[in-house]
Homo-oligomer: A and B are copies of this chain.
Amino acid sequence: MLQQTNSPLEGHREADFRAGVIARRFSALCGLSQGELDLLRKIGRARYATHGPRSMVSALGMRRPAPHYIISGWAAHTREFEDGRRQILHLLLPGDSLSAQLCVPRRQHRIQSLSSLQTVDGEEIWTAACDAHAHPGLSKASALAEAQERAFLFNHIARLGRQNAYERMAHLFLELRFRCAQVGMDQEESIPFPLTQEVLADLLGLSGVHVNRTIQLLRREKTIRLKHRRLYFLNVEALMRASEFDPPKMTHLI
């Protein structure tokens, strides 16, 4: 379920690609110096952990209890109730960080991989970002990443509290489109979509059956296409009108 890989065995192209996700995310938030980019590239060549799909991401497979970064695959921060109900609190995409504390599974909080997942130790990024004088770009980008996560949590709350199934799904899809674009995972109005309808239900606070019906509706309207683990946006305008999605701007964060 979990393996350690030493990447010196692999080509630099692959390492650069992995580092690229973090670099893209940070660059989207704040301009980085060449030195900072080099530091991120070095991280990409470091040892990384692989978690199988549907597995619990625990601190066990990680070298030490430091923040880790996802370099490929999706994960979910979930809360579970005693009777089996489950709510996904936050979706984690490549470029996002996992706080170390959360990797110790507790009764109410756990992180589960939703697909095959690769993570790297973020210790060096963390310590570099803490020194705002030496690495102003990394420092600011880290703060903005945190602020952006807060904004996504607020979106999540507004969806669950005051939007119906259709609006919730439209809003979530646009948010995922935004997040994928930020790390370069989008192409031609489509994004990877590794979520089952059951996972989508736990994310949107709905039943699996109702998620299915809502997807059918979006399909019939030709607003989206969902096939082969990929989500195609056929009518972004319709989604925006329905959900009042407001793309987060950096100036509104912090």
Contacts and interface: CB of A to CB of B under 8 A. Distances in A.
A240 to B, nearest CB: 12
Interface residues of A, number: 33
Contacts of A154: 77, 79, 89-90, 109, 153
A109 B158 CA distance: 11
B156 A157 contact: yes
Q: Determine the main DSSP class of A at the interface with B.
A: mixed
A162 B253 contact: no
B87 A162 contact: yes
A159 to B, nearest CB: 9
Contact of A160 (B81, B86, B160, B252): B160
Interface stretch (A4-12, A99-107, A228-236): A99-107
Interface string A128-166: 000000000000000000000010011011101110000
A80 to B, nearest CB: 9
A85 interface: yes
A157 B101 contact: no
Nearest to A161: B205
Question: How many copies of this chain are found per oligomer?
Answer: 2
A114 to B, nearest CB: 17
Contacts of A90: 154, 157
A246 interface: yes
Nearest to A106: B252
A138 to B, nearest CB: 16
8 contacts: A81-B244, A88-B161, A89-B154, A90-B154, A101-B254, A109-B252, A157-B157, A162-B205
A82 interface: yes
Interface string A60-91: 00000000000000000101011001111110
B254 A108 contact: no
A171 B252 CA distance: 31
Contacts of A246: 107-108
